[in-house]
Chain A
């Protein structure tokens, strides 16, 4: 039997709304797997079904050879979970909170080690209610790790964190992978997905649009290069430029997706000289996950 998590034809409906629509997915063990999708795409519901928190209407989830859907409680003893909105008793201290969770499990990591590892030593005697957003996230992560889980689920782990706190969190997550744990996370941040995820699934309307490594996804959907320039330059679809696949406006920028960067650039420079325009804000780059995401869902990730 294949090692890892397997989702087979998972469906979940709420009334007439289909949150997850016969979704099939494999997460090999020992990697960081990212679930990407716009708000309302069904990420959290999918995650909760994998965690055994919700029963799917159809389909099965397997962890190695264990049926998670049938034995959610047994499966959860192998899982560590950080929920999107999880709060703790505000008047307990960080240490007391971890000790409480510690005493609920049989297989467990030491509270002292976790405090140190998640950089909570200074705050261990502080009340939970007075922690900053980043400290609360680290506490939530520490609680998710207390039972020494084989799979760690993180629902939007870096939501609302400043860049500094986000980088600290990334180090912790990469550390989990190096210990042989499997990490499944949902995120809104492309950069986070690119840095952390070995494999990604892009989800919308409750099913997987595509799945693979970040490089594979970019290769498959956006082999081209991207030219960005200020919208005020006035380039639009009516301007005839060589090798341009698509022209679109994103915020203050005009985006040109090109099959052949050199040809398009020459065409653009010639057009500018002819029309007497200045090419303000011109940059070129290879396509990113953000472009893939936009291509697949038609929506920006951060909306």
Chain B
């Protein structure tokens, strides 16, 4: 017991002093969330260049009043150039209005960014239809009342991203920490040096695992704190079930890390193997976008990935769609437990001290 404590202390000391390692552990998650929190806000307004005959125009006035558009009046040449360069999302050409005929408003947009293009066309069409009715003086036949379906709050992309980032970090910390850290110690002879002391292998492994679990939990805490207090993410934080998911996720990825570290002889050989394991999960397991947006065949496979279980459970808990009692939550936990048993059994067979 004493050996575990002193080893854990030394390992944590080593970890805390590895400034570069800590920086990269937190840097990407923080920057990603920061960037996406801005994108979410700026997407609501459309930058629209307007080319219209001089003089007051009812259409221009209405556009100016709309909160959806940020407009700028300019000439044809400049407008096209700005759309081309991307400083304006689209240019709207308004010809002189002839009250006896339908006036065609030409919308030139840059379709390099498909999502923005769709948003621009949609908003301008909706606006024109609305303006048409309003200017005609007739009461509208239909009206839409939009009502959000989320449980407790309106959800932003940041709220979606946060649980995914936590899941991703759990994987990266455990997999890279064990996979590359342990291989390095093995390669350089650190493990061998402890082998000749009275420290038992199990004690060394326990200390190593405690070290990575502490690192994983503290960094998750920092990320949750940053997202909720500074970026104002509106998520639920049910501590106990979240902790269970984090610990099981770490257990699973630490085991996979042990398998990799056990099989490979050098650190150079470990990194590509870890990348091979982590990259598909990073992009497919629902960290950045939902698994349901994948093609069916792919989604059927991806749902069994360990990171998918972690991301689903975390997102469910943090959005309020799942509680610890939900059947779907239990399925995720069972999935992770199966992974831990299988990978743990393989790790214990493949592990080598030298």
Contact A73 B198 (CB under 8 A): yes
Partner of A100, one of B7, B185, B189, B198: B7
Question: Across the two chains, which residue of chain B brings its CB closest to A51?
Answer: B196
Question: Across the two chains, which residue of chain B brings its CB closest to A103?
Answer: B6
Interface flags, B193-231, vs A, CB<8A=1, else 0: 101111100000000000000000000000000000000
Given the interface pairs A81-B196, A101-B197, A104-B199, the reply to whether A87 lies near B10 with Cβ below 8 Å is no
Query: Cβ of A85 < 8 Å from any Cβ of B?
Result: yes
Q: How far is the CA of A143 from the CA of B10 in the complex (A)?
A: 15
Interface flags, B37-61, vs A, CB<8A=1, else 0: 0000000000000000000000000
List B residues at the A interface (Cβ < 8 Å). Answer: 2-3, 6-7, 10-11, 13-14, 17-18, 185, 188-190, 192-193, 195-199
Question: Across the two chains, which residue of chain A brings its CB closest to B200?
Answer: A73
Known: A53-B196, A73-B198, A104-B3; 20 extra A-B contacts, CB below 8 A, are A53-B195, A83-B189, A83-B192, A85-B189, A87-B188, A87-B193, A88-B190, A88-B193, A89-B14, A91-B13, A91-B17, A91-B18, A92-B14, A96-B13, A100-B6, A104-B6, A104-B197, A105-B197, A105-B198, A127-B17
Q: How far is the CA of A89 from the CA of B15 in the complex (A)?
A: 10
Query: Cβ of A288 < 8 Å from any Cβ of B?
Result: no
Partner of A86, one of B2, B10, B11, B193: B193
Interface flags, A76-111, vs B, CB<8A=1, else 0: 110001010111111110001000110111000000
Contact B13 A86 (CB under 8 A): no
What residues of A have a CB within 8 angstroms of the CB of B14 in the complex? Answer: 89-92
Q: How far is the CA of A148 from the CA of B228 in the complex (A)?
A: 55
What residues of A have a CB within 8 angstroms of the CB of B195 in the complex? Answer: 53
Contact A89 B196 (CB under 8 A): no
Q: How far is the CA of A87 from the CA of B198 in the complex (A)?
A: 17
Q: How many residues of A contact B (CB 8 A)?
A: 23
Between A and B, 16 residue pairs with Cβ closer than 8 Å are A53-B196, A73-B198, A76-B196, A83-B189, A83-B196, A85-B189, A86-B192, A87-B189, A90-B14, A96-B10, A96-B13, A100-B10, A101-B197, A104-B3, A104-B198, A105-B198
- Listed from nearest, the 4 A-B pairs whose CB atoms lie closest are A87-B188, A91-B17, A85-B189, A86-B193
What residues of A have a CB within 8 angstroms of the CB of B188 in the complex? Answer: 85, 87
Question: Across the two chains, which residue of chain A brings its CB closest to B354?
Answer: A53
Question: Across the two chains, which residue of chain A brings its CB closest to B195?
Answer: A53
Most buried by A among B6, B11, B17, B197: B197
What residues of A have a CB within 8 angstroms of the CB of B189 in the complex? Answer: 83, 85-87
What residues of B have a CB within 8 angstroms of the CB of A86 in the complex? Answer: 189-190, 192-193
What residues of B have a CB within 8 angstroms of the CB of A91 in the complex? Answer: 13-14, 17-18
